[in-house]
Amino acid sequence: MNRIRNSWGLVKASWAVLRADKELIVFPVVSTIGAIIVTLTFAIPMIISGLFAGLSDGRGGSQITVTFFAFLFYLVQYTVIFYCNSALVGAAMIRLKGGDPTVRDGFRIASQHVGAIIGYALIASTVGMVLRWLSGKGLLGRIVASLFGLAWNIATFLSVPVLVMENVGPIDAVKRSTQLLKKTWGEQIAGNLGIGVVFGLIVLLLFLIFIPVIVVAASTGSAAIIIAVILMFVLAIMIVSLIGSALNGIYTAAVYRFAAEGNAGTYFEAGLVENAFRVK
């Protein structure tokens, strides 16, 4: 509980960074739009071509084709997400060092490492396909996939800031992330949990608020009112998700800066960070 309370302090510090640089929210917005475009780009042709229907019929050729497109989808999707995350982390690092970043600064930093980002996306896509294959192997396969997926997410928590700040390749970034993890063991998980719990509670609160409102809107029988309330609910969820993504990127940058340099920046109190990270 002490560790989670400490992580809540880090979440508040991340929020202070976002308030100072509100333009940081642009990166999650671009990432979300890009992810939607990539999904539609892959899904619509597959539906039109009947690949999904062929897969449900058990045709082997369709299975191979779908697997290939699934891997390609992972690769493109991860590239878009990692690119935007790199831009967010790069801009956040400028702020943590006392600068005043712009959106252009973030995308400039990400573009300087686009090769490493694509390489890292290739590794992540391969891991994603392996986890997907394991998940289809019954209960034991799902358990192994869950454990391996958790280990992978923890080990690569700092891979993006390493790519951005240390100018290394994707494999070295994963290795370096694991090394830094050993120095700051536990707080990455608790901090991420803190962000997830806080925004999970906010989403739950939104559900509790909007469900009765939607019921009342439905009782009016007006399609316009019902649609307006549902759109407001979806918009609220999207805003909360975007803020959560931005805070997570800022938090990741702070974790990396402290692990690599011993100083998380002026927005993070020294005592808070010192209690958060202890060398094993």
The confidence score (pLDDT) of residue 215 equals: 86
User: How far is residue 74's CA from residue 26's CA, in Å, rounded to a whole number?
Assistant: 23
Could you tell me the two tokens for 205? 């609160």
Number of domains in the chain: 1
Contact 98, 91 (CB under 8 A): no
Which pLDDT band, with edges at 50, 70 and 90, does 97 fall under? confident
The confidence score (pLDDT) of residue 38 equals: 94
Domain that residue 160 falls in:
2-276
Contact 158, 252 (CB under 8 A): yes
User: Other C-beta atoms within 10 Å of 95: how many?
Assistant: 21
For the chain, the maximum distance between any two Cα atoms, rounded to a whole number of angstroms, is 62
pTM score, whole prediction? 0.82
Q: Mean per-residue pLDDT for 113-134?
A: 93
Q: Mean per-residue pLDDT for 254-269?
A: 76
Residue 109 has pLDDT above 90, yes or no: yes
Contact 251, 11 (CB under 8 A): yes
DSSP string, the chain: -HHHHHHHHHHHHHHHHHHHTGGGGHHHHHHHHHHHHHHHHHHHHHHHHTHHHHHHTT-HHHHHHHHHHHHHHHHHHHHHHHHHHHHHHHHHHHHHTT----HHHHHHHHHHTHHHHHHHHHHHHHHHHHHHHHHTSHHHHHHHHHHHHHHHHHHTTTHHHHHHHH---HHHHHHHHHHHHHHSTTHHHHHHHHHHHHHHHHHHHHHHHHHHHHHHHHHHT-HHHHHHHHHHHHHHHHHHHHHHHHHHHHHHHHHHHHHHHS---TTS-HHHHHHH----
pLDDT in tens, 167-217: 899 999 999 988 887 766 555 555 555 566 777 778 888 888 888 888 888
